[in-house]
Amino acid sequence: MKAQPYEQRDKNVFFKTPEFKARIIELPPNGIMPECEMASYVVFIVIEGEAAVTVNQKQARLQAGQCLITEPATLSMNADTGVKIIGIQITKANDE
């Protein structure tokens, strides 16, 4: 899959329902995904490269073949050498 730049990230969504959205994320060397508040659970699966992912101010380094799952959180990412990731958002169910 070819990914569009971050500014056109909506074009990178390849599956979407009201509860679930999957997209390809590709950052070039020294590329960043700015800090964002995510109201959903997020799953990152690294396909190529590596990136530093910050979740609520705690940093994790992910490499190809690794996965990170978060609860709703504040997220950001930077890729020193470039990275290609599948990002999946799963809506948190409302407690009724």
> What's domain 12-91's superfamily in CATH?
Jelly Rolls (2.60.120.10)
User: Given CA atoms 57, 32, 85, 49 in this order, what sign does their dihedral have?
Assistant: negative
| Domain edges within the chain | 12-91
Residue of higher predicted confidence among 5 and 70: 70
| Average pLDDT of the chain, as a whole number | 91
Q: What is the pLDDT of residues 51-91, one digit of tens each?
A: 999 999 999 999 999 999 999 999 999 998 999 999 999 99
* Surface-to-core class of residue 71, CB atoms within 10 Å of its CB (0-12 exposed, 13-18 middle, 19+ buried): exposed
